Every structure is written in structure tokens, then in C-alpha cells.
Structure 1
Amino acid sequence: MRPLTLWRHEVRRAGWAAVLGPPIAVAAGVAAALANPLPGDTSTARILLAGLEMAVPLAAAVACASLVGRDPAIELQLTTRTRYRFTLLRRMAVTLGWAAVVAALTAATLIATGWWARWPASHGVLAGQLTWIAPTAGLSGLGFAAGAILRSPAGAGAIVTTLWAIQQFFAGAAQERLPGRLLYLFATTRGAKPDDWTANRLTLLGTGVVLTALALLVLGRSERLIREEDE
């Protein structure tokens, strides 16, 4: 299979959630900013950045949570030269790559129009991109690992959305202790101690890598995949 054809196939297998999720998330953030009941540059900028920090990572993570279990004939996948876990890793790369393109273009637009700098905690143009990169990596790693362990897109998606909602609605409780602050997804727009922001972003990145590695380890047990397919 030619590389271009292969990647087109992986895009199709990743599903519509991976393709449409990030643009819809950005559109929802813009709509929320336009409907802001408290108009003002700072408030509107915060909502726009929140779309990148909250909505895009959620869309990408839900898509990653649904990658495992989408193939109807897993036995055929396991007989190919490329190991199944690397096929899924390729689909995860497609999912996160597209989310990154959408988020980067949105961030570039906010920077060019001046909205990025109007939120005091934006952390600059370069380091500030961790606003969306870190939570996307951490939450997507969780979704991918949950999908690999549970073999249930619905169950994995529920774990992702539940964690997202808990941190969204119980922000204070989530940040009472240092471990919670380091794993808090919305440190840029929902507040964080200035000294904790960089550590928080790096912790989320590291967590995403570790969880993805765990998922690949679980997916490497082909006998478990076949047994669960038969069930």
C-alpha cells in the first residue's frame, strides 16, 4: 500500500469524530466568546483560549478513546506484517495531528488578531502553546490507554468525559493539593499558581507519554485481543 493511500485509510478508520471533533470544538469556543454575557477584552480572550485548552483536548481524547475496537475482524489485523498496536498508534497520530493543525491555526489567528495577548496568563506565543498541547496529550493518552484496557470505546470515552467534567466543575477541589495541581487540565484559563504552571504542563505531557506506552504494552498481548474478540 502506498504511503498516501495508507494514511488516507487510517483517516477513514479513525472515524468522523477524529475529523470533525476539533473544528467543532473551536467553533464552540468562538460561539461562547460571541455570546459572552460579560463583554470585555480580557473576558473574551479567556473564553477563546479556553476553547483551545478545554474543548480541543476533549474532542481529541474522545476520538482516541474510540480507536481500539473499531476493526471488525481483529484476527486479520494480527496476521499482517505491521503489528496491530502500531496500526493503532498510527491512527492516534492522525487524530492528534489533525487536532494539532486545527489548534495551531486557531492559536495563530488569536495571536495575529491580538486576542492571545489580552489574556494575562497566556504565557507568551511559544510557551503558551502548551495551553492546548499539554492537556491534549494527557487526556488523549488517558483515552487511548482506557480504550486498550477496556476494549470499549463507550467505556473509555466515559472515563475521559468524567475526568474532564470533574476538573471542570470542581476546579477548587482538584487543585487543593500539589498532585491535583500538577494534573489539572485547565491551568491556563481556570487558574493555577504561577510557579506551578510549567510543572503542570510538563507533567501532563509526561503523563500522556506514559499512558500511551501503557496502551501499547497492553495491545501487544495479541492473545488477549483475540480472546476478547471471541467473547
Structure 2
Amino acid sequence: MKPLTLWQYEARRAGWAALLGPPIAIALGLAAAAANPLPGDASTARILLGTLEMAVPLAAGVACASLVGRDPAVELQLTSPTRYRLTLLRRMAVTLGWTAVFAGPAAIVLVATGWWARWPENHGAFVGQLTWVAPTLGLSGAGFAAAALFRSPGAAGALVTTLWAIQQFFAGLAQESRPGRLLYLFATTRGTAPDDWTANRLTLLGAAGALTALAVVVLGRSERLLREEDE
């Protein structure tokens, strides 16, 4: 199979959640910013950056949570020369790449038009891109690991949305301890303790790597996949 054809196939297998989630998230964020009833550019800028920090990671996380368990006959995948976990990693890469196709240009437009700088806690045009990169990778890693452990896209997606909602609606409780602050997803637009932002973003990136590695280990246990397929 030619490389381009292979990646096109993996994009189709990733599903509609992966393809439609990012553009819908950004469209809803733009609509919310346009309808913002609060005065001042800072509040609108917060909504725009919040779209990248909140809506885009949720869309990517739910999409990655749906990657495992989509194949109707896993035993056939396991007989392929390409290991099944590598196939799923390709689909995760497609999902994250597609997310970046929308989130990256959106961030560039915000920087170019000055809206990025109108939020006081923007952390700059370059390093500030961790505003969306870190939580997107963090939630995506959590979704992928949950899918590998549960073998249920529904259960994994529910875990991702629950984690997102807890941090969204109980921000104060989530930030009461330093571990909670380091794993807080919305440190740019919802705030964090002074000097914790960089550590927070790096912690999310580290968590993303660790959770993805956990998923790869779990998916490497072919006997477990076959047993659950039979069930």
C-alpha cells in the first residue's frame, strides 16, 4: 500500500469524531466570541484562547478515546505483518495531526490579528502555543490509554469528558494542591499559581507521553485483545 493511500485509509478508520471534532470546536468558539455579552477586548480574547485550550483538547481527547475497539475483527489485525498497536498509533497521529491543521492556523490568526496579545496571560506567541498543545496531548493520551485499558470507546470517552468537566466546573478544588495545579488543563485562561504555568504545561506533556506508552504496552498483549474480542 502506498504511503499516501495508507494514511488516507487510517484517516477514514479514525472515524467522524476525529475528522469533525476540531472544526466544530473552533466554529463554536468563534460563535461564542462573536456573541460575547461582556465588555472589553480581554473577555473576547479569553474566549478565543479558551477555544484552543478547552474545546480543541476535548474534541481530540474524545476522538483518541474512540480509536481502540473500532475494528470488527481484531484477530485479523493481529495476523498482519504490521503490529496492531502501530496501526493504532498511526490513527492517533492522524487524529492529532488533523487537530493541529485547524488549531495551528487558528492560533496564527489570533497572533496576527492581535487578539492573542489582548489576553494578559497569553505567555507569548511562541511558547504560548503550549496553551493548546499541552492540554490537547494530555487529554488525547488519557483517552488513548483509557481506550486501551477498557477496550470500550464509550467508557474511554466518558472518562475524558468527566475529567474535562471536573476541571472545568471545580477549578478551585482542582488547584488546591500542587499536583492538581500541575495537571490542570486550563492554566492559561482559567489561571494558575504564579510561576506554575511552565511547569504545568511540561507536566501535561510528560503525562501525555507516559499515558501513550502505557497504552502501547497494554495493546501489545495480543492474548488480552483476543480474549476480549471473544467476549
Q: Give the TM bin, normalised by the shorter chain.
A: over 0.9
Q: Distance in 1 between matches of 2:194 and 2:124?
A: 14
Q: How do 1:33-182 and structure 2 match up within 5 A?
A: 33-182=33-182
TM-score of the two chains, using structure 2 as the length reference: 0.99
- Paired position in structure 1 for 2:21: 21
Task: State the secondary structure of the residue aligned to 1:120.
Answer: coil
- Tell me how far 1:86 sits from its aligned partner: 0.4
User: What are the Cα deviations for residues 132-158 of structure 1, in whole angstroms up to 9, with x where unaligned?
Assistant: 000001110000000000000000000
TM-score of the two chains, using structure 1 as the length reference: 0.99
2:112 partner amino acid:
A
1:44 partner amino acid:
T
Deviates more, 1:131-140 or 1:31-40: 31-40
1:137 partner amino acid:
L
What residue ranges of structure 1 are gaps of 5+ in the alignment?
Answer: none
- Paired position in structure 2 for 1:11: 11
Q: Distance in 2 between matches of 1:194 and 1:114?
A: 24
Task: State the secondary structure of the residue aligned to 2:195.
Answer: helix
* RMSD (CA atoms): 0.5
Q: Distance in 2 between matches of 1:119 and 1:50?
A: 10
- Tell me how far 1:39 sits from its aligned partner: 2.8
Q: Kindly tell me the number of residue pairs found equivalent between the two proteins.
A: 231
Q: Distance in 2 between matches of 1:9 and 1:79?
A: 19
What residue ranges of structure 2 are gaps of 5+ in the alignment?
Answer: none
Task: State the secondary structure of the residue aligned to 1:195.
Answer: coil
Q: Distance in 1 between matches of 2:14 and 2:169?
A: 30
1:166 partner amino acid:
I
**Structure 1 stretches of 4+ moved >3 Å:** none
1:182 partner amino acid:
L
Q: Percent identity?
A: 78
**Do residues 184 (structure 1) and 184 (structure 2) align?**
yes
1:115 partner amino acid:
W
